Amino acid sequence: MKVLWRNELNGRSGIVVEPEGYDGVPWVRELWMDRRPVALHPDRVAVAAALVFGRDAVGDLEFERPISIGVAESIKIFCRTPSLNVSPVDYEQRPFADGAGRMEIVANAFNLHKGSHFQDDRSLTLSVMRSDQYSGSLISSSGLVVSSNAYLHDAHSEKREGTAYGSLAIGVLFSEDLGLDVCSTSGSSLPIAASEMLVASGLRTL
Amino acid sequence: MTEPIEMSVVIGFKNWGLRRLGLAISSVQEAFGSVRGEVIVSDYGSDEYAETERLAKSLGAIYIYTPTDGVWSRSRALNIGFAQASGEVLACTDADMIFKPGSMERIHDAAVREPTATILVECRDLPPEWSDREISEKGPDWERFDRISKLRGRWGMGGMVAVSRDVFTKVRGLDERMHTYGCEDIDFGERTQRAGNKILWLRDPGVRMFHMWHPPSGPAAEANPLELKTINANREILYNDRSYVRNMTNWLCQSNPKRPLVTVSIATRNRADLLPDAIYSVLAQTVQDFEIIVVDDGSTDNTHAVIEGFADHRIRYFFQENRGIAAARNRAVKEARGRYVAVLDDDDIMLPWRLESQIASIGAGQHGSYGSFVNFDNDTAELTMFHEKQVSVTTAFQKGGAPGHSTWMVETDLLRLVEYDESIISGEDNNLFLRLLRSGARLSHCGEAVVLRRLHSTQITQTDNRIHERYAAANRYFFRFNTPMAEASKIEEIGNRAPWVTVRGGKDFSNLVRPYLPDHLIQRTLVIDEADVASEQLLEDIRASVDGFVDVSRYSAGGVLINRALIVKTATHRTMAELRKLGVKYAVQLEDGAESISGSEPDLMESELARFVEENTATDIGKTSLALLVVHPSAFKLDNLGRGFEMHTNSIRVGDESYFAHVLKTQSMTAAVEKAKALSVNDHVLRLDVFTNNAPSKVSDYLSLSGGAS
């Protein structure tokens, strides 16, 4: 499965996958958002892609840029496919993406009055809004609102695994832009394998 | 209460050796471990089966025997077995495979852990000294088999496939067009992949499948030219048919529980006069695996009574207080049991190939389909085709570009997530489509005109056009909101350059669709393929359901029925629906003489003959009248053919060949029998049909009474 980043003329950006060989065809092949993150650390892109599409991959899971060995190994564990070959991998330890503070990821609700960029214990909200109902993005000192089709992936992964991975993937992608290193979602706690993937990319989960 | 079965393993079988089968069944039973499993032996046409049945049942397996015409079809054999299966995990294997104890338990666990995976196991070939005889005499030696067997590798589907029941029903089993040998398992595996499954070759030391040695059968099968032709036909399907749903029109082996393939969603309000046309057009679909949900949005006319009049269990009716069409459509989606929802407006007519062509066009990663539609004037029958492009974000960008709503077919699960917006009162379809595009939904054009869209005075888009435009503008603004202004013209240009989809029929589309206009606008004749009237029971069923047909029966000189054709004049939409329900194929002709190009094209000569016969027998063929249809090449003369008969002659040209067709009429059974006997031994006679109208007595009765052989 090839994982690609696309920026489209109509203003949306996101992860697009091309299944190959024995890969399953994902229900929706793209994770779109109405704002392109400025910082796209390859580890964070890989983790976001694995959360949403990894379980459909069987043979090669190929990214556009080299990822850390730790992230590659955690992706293989998360995808539960022994034959999965994650590439390309950079075996030299690289710096994690910058950030300190907490991101509360909320699906389909505005919650911008909680927290602030400018408090000591930084805590911001990422509201991931449904792209069939909202268009565009909005930034404030309290957080970011962005429209995305993550809601479809949330519904799909909740049905399959009991966890909403779509919105979490959006959070991973914007974590560096917002300068945060903790991703938290409402609902049940994250499975360990998913949590380890985020940790491998320099994030924490609470 | 018995615990439910967790896993079903089906073994397809035909004349493949009882000892081998016995070993296969026993090994699978042991391989279940702690999983509650069942083994189903689907015997597809073995010559002798009493012993097979006894053996299977003695080993605790379920045994199903299906008599056949001799042709082996692994697809059909397995589907018949799966139709009886109770497990949530379904697997199939061959009668020459044995499994190490505990293997099926691990396969089951893998399938449960990965419900969107098609589980395969690599086969290991045992050497010639380990055929079923040796295994039966010495017993299996699993450790030794591990050492001496040769891994076959990941060819095809390996010899065992396991999937969840949900995926099996989603793709509708193995393709029953495939028979004799080859490709059906690979095709099945690839289709599950297109349907979303990943292919998982299980690497587990606790899972072992061994192939009992036997002399190879592959090369011998390919040496037979007829079988080779079939194998090539199977390959043609494998390589070129990219759909994943099969057996749409003839899946006789449907698994339990039943979930209709398609829900046809009709939202209606006070259209009781037009609704029957819509419903009959659905009932006449070539795909009969559907339900129709009619949501009545507060009608004050006799809509409910009209629906009840159909007395068809596939039609489900829901009434609600008037809340608007969007709410009605959402209600239909909420109540839908089909995998797909096909939308139909209550004043439109579905062309009979719609469901079939749309499902066949849905490939990997696609969420649905749409088609072109043809507007028709409800007073004048004037037709106008509306073409569509392959819609995408770019083609939708400029104008909103939603395809005709009455042509949509979308996954039910998707429509439950992305609902119709009930706050808007016009353009709700356009709004939904743009929202689907923004969410990454993929729909494809099926390459057909699929709906006849009625233009009439009470149509909503005629009565509130200004409101419609206002809503359309709002939809476009939402859709384009996030687009940088600098890119807008570029996107519009790309969308404009996208080609229009060419549909079947092309410029002659009117010939294709006109036969399906409402009954008040045209008159049609149906010609029923004689192969579909092969049984007397079916003929009786047709007689009971359909009025006004001419029975053209072909008998041998000895009075033995050879075949039949039926002509149904002035057939209505109801007639077409009744015949489709009986599983009868037909071709449609217009009674103004125009040929039709239809979903099932008649032989041109056949239709000419049918018309010729009809013209010359319609007015005077009574209870005891008989007629003979005689066809011979025009190069030959049949002397004294018509002596003693009233004779009508027609010349027919088919390509470079020309023929004479004669209708000979008589009141005398004896004369008819004598003439038939004489003509049946004449080498120049290509066709000899003896027929009457739908009189209660059969011609063969007359023949036996007159002393003719039966």
Q: Does the pLDDT at position B699 exceed 50? A: no
pLDDT for the residue numbered B526:
87
Rounded CA gap, B424 and B422, in Å? 6
- Of the candidates A73, A87, A176, A164, which has an alpha carbon nearest to the alpha carbon of residue A124? A176
Give the pLDDT band (50/70/90) at residue B246: very high
pLDDT at B214 over 50: yes
Beta-bridge partner residues of B549: B568
What are the angstrom distances between the C-alpha of B284 and each of A106, B239, B241, B251, B579? 48, 31, 25, 17, 8
Pick the more confident residue, B438 or B553. Answer: B438
B565-592 per-position pLDDT tens digit: 678 888 899 999 999 988 888 888 887 6
pLDDT value at position B617? 66
Q: A159: Cβ–Cβ under 8 A, 6 or more apart, which residues?
A: none
Question: Which chain B residue has its CA at the smallest distance from A31's CA?
Answer: B440
Closest listed residue to residue B199, CA positions, set B247, B153, B246, B154:
B154
Which stretches of A7-61 are DSSP H helices?
A: 42-53
End-to-end CA distance of chain B: 56
Does residue B459 come out as left (phi exceeding 0), alpha (psi in the -120 to 50 range) or beta?
beta
Mean predicted confidence (pLDDT) in A157-184: 93
**Better-predicted residue by pLDDT, B703 or B270:** B270
SS3 at position B412:
helix
Query: Which residue among A56, A83, A136 sits closest to B481, beta carbon to beta carbon?
Result: A136
Are A10 and B481 an interchain contact pair (Cβ–Cβ within 8 Å)? no
Instruction: Give the residue carrying structure tokens 């009625």.
Output: B454
Q: Which of A108, A27, A113, A42 is nearest to A75 (CA)?
A: A42
pLDDT in tens, B53-94: 999 999 999 999 999 887 888 999 999 999 999 999 999 999
Percent of chain A with pLDDT over 90: 75
**Pair of tokens at residue B353:** 């190939």
- Radius of gyration in angstroms for the set of CA atoms belonging to chain B, rounded to a whole number: 30
Q: Is some CB atom of chain A closer than 8 A to the CB atom of B117?
A: yes
B156 touches chain A (CB under 8 A): no
The answer to whether A58 contacts B440, with C-beta atoms less than 8 Å apart, is no
Task: Specify which residues A146 forms β-bridges with.
Answer: A128, A137
Q: B487, A11: Cβ pair inside 8 Å?
A: yes
Segments of A77-194 assigned E as strands: 85-90, 102-107, 123-130, 137-140, 143-148, 182-185
Shortest distance between the Cα of A136 and any Cα of chain B, in A, equals: 5
Contact A80 B114 (CB under 8 A): yes
SS3 call for B19: helix
A55 at B interface, C-beta within 8 A: yes
B262-268 and B340-343: which strand pairing? Answer: parallel
- Facing A32 at nearest CB: one of B114, B117, B440: B440
Could you tell me if A11 lies within 8 Å of chain B, comparing CB atoms? Answer: yes
Does a cis peptide bond (omega within 30 degrees of 0) precede residue B257? yes
Query: How far is Cα B163 from Cα B169, in angstroms, rounded to an integer?
Result: 10
A90 contacts A113 by C-beta, under 8 angstroms: no
Q: Are B43 and B52 in contact (CB under 8 A)?
A: yes
Mean pLDDT for all residues in chain A = 92
Query: For the CA atoms of chain A, what is the radius of gyration?
Result: 16
pLDDT value of residue B72? 85
pLDDT, mean of residues B144-165: 87
Q: Residue B552: name the closest of B604, B596, B612 by CA.
A: B612
Residue B657: what pLDDT? 64
Task: Classify residue B389 by its DSSP letter.
Answer: B
| Chain A contact present for B483, CB below 8 A | yes
- From residue B75, alpha-carbon distances to B137, B186, B188, B228, B500 in Å are 32, 11, 9, 17, 38
Please name every residue paired with A17 in a beta bridge, in sequence order, or none if there are none: A3
Q: What is the mean pLDDT of chain B?
A: 85
pLDDT digits (tens, 9 = 90+) for B189-200: 999 999 999 999
DSSP secondary structure letters along B140-174: --HHHHHHH-EE--S-TTTTEEEEEHHHHHHHTSS
Weakest-pLDDT range from A161-175, B44-58, B169-183, B454-468: B454-468
Q: State how far the Cα of B71 lies from the Cα of B233, in Å rounded to an integer.
A: 15
**In the predicted structure, residue B595 carries a pLDDT above the cut 80:** no
Which of B174, B155, B166 lies closest to B44 in space, CA to CA? B174
Looking at residue B623, what is its pLDDT? 45
Q: Which residue of A has its CA nearest to B431?
A: A132
| pLDDT higher at B226 or B109 | B109
Whether A66 and A43 have beta carbons less than 8 Å apart is answered as: no
Q: Is the pLDDT of residue A59 over 60?
A: yes
Half-sphere exposure of B532 (CA within 13 A, CB side): 18
Question: Does residue B497 belong to the interface with chain A, where contact is any CB pair within 8 Å?
Answer: no
Sequence-ordered strand ranges (E) for chain A? 2-7, 13-18, 30-33, 60-68, 85-90, 102-107, 123-130, 137-140, 143-148, 182-185, 204-205
Exposure string (b/e) for B676-696, b if CB count within 10 Å is 16 or more?
A: beebeeeeebeebbbbbeeee
Query: Contact, B530 vs B564, CB < 8 A?
Result: yes
* 3-class SS shares of chain A: helix, strand, coil, % to 5: 30, 30, 45
Q: How far is B320 from chain A (nearest CA, A)?
A: 26
CA of A73 vs chain B CAs: smallest distance (Å): 19
Of A163, A166, A174, A175, the C-alpha closest to A148 is A166
Report the gap between the CA of B120 and the closest CA in chain A (Å): 11
Tokens of B392: 């995408």
**Residue B601 pLDDT greater than 50, yes or no:** no
| Total length of chain B | 710
Report helix, strand or coil for A146.
Answer: strand
HSE-CB for B60 with a 13 A CA cutoff: 15
Identify which of B114, B482, B487 has the shortest CB distance to residue A135. Answer: B482
Element containing residue B375 per DSSP (H, E): strand B368-377
Name which of A26, A83, A152 is nearest B439 (Cβ-Cβ).
A152
Residues 6+ apart with CB under 8 A from B174: B74, B75, B76, B78, B79, B184, B185, B187, B188, B246
Question: Lowest-confidence range among A74-88, B477-491, B500-514, B525-539?
Answer: B525-539
CB nearest to B364's CB, from A25, A80, A131: A25
How far B364 CA lies from chain A's nearest CA (Å)?
Answer: 7
Determine if the peptide bond prior to A88 is cis (ω within 30°).
Answer: yes
Sequence-separated (6 or more) residues with CB below 8 Å from residue B301: B270, B272
Of A113, A112, A177, nearest to A138 by C-alpha is A112
Separation CA B502–CA B504 (nearest Å)? 7
Q: Is the pLDDT of residue B654 over 70?
A: no
User: Are B483 and A11 in contact (CB < 8 Å)?
Assistant: yes
Indicate if the pLDDT at residue B697 is higher than 60.
no
Please provide the size of chain A in residues: 206
Sort B201 into a burial class: Cβ within 10 Å, 0-12 / 13-18 / 19+.
middle
- CB-based contact (8 Å) between A135 and chain B? yes
Mean pLDDT along residues B479-487: 93
From residue B599, alpha-carbon distances to B140, B467, B505 in Å are 55, 39, 11
The Cα–Cα gap between B234 and B110 comes to 30
Integer Cα distance of B238 and B603 in angstroms = 29
Contacts of B85 (CB under 8 A, 6+ apart): B5, B8, B10, B38, B40, B165, B255, B256
Q: Distances in Å between the alpha carbon of B668 and those of B614, B631, B638, B702?
A: 20, 21, 21, 10
Q: Give the residue among B532, B545, B551 at the shortest CA–CA distance from B698.
A: B551
What average pLDDT does this structure show over B364-390?
Answer: 93
Q: What is the DSSP letter of B311?
A: -
Q: What is the mean pLDDT of residues A103-111?
A: 88
The DSSP line for B543-566 is HHH--SEEEEEEE-TTS-EEEEEE
Please tell me if residue B112 touches chain A, with a CB cutoff of 8 Å. Answer: no
Distance from the Cα of residue B445 to its chain's centroid: 19
Res B706 pLDDT > 50: no
Q: pLDDT digits over B331-361, tens only? A: 999 999 999 999 999 999 999 999 999 999 9
Least confidently predicted of A80-84, A189-193, B150-154, B688-692: B688-692
At residue A195, the pLDDT reads: 94
Q: Is the model's pLDDT at B430 over the cut of 80?
A: yes
Give pLDDT, residue B530: 65
* pLDDT given at position B256: 47
Start-to-end CA distance of chain A, whole Å, equals 30
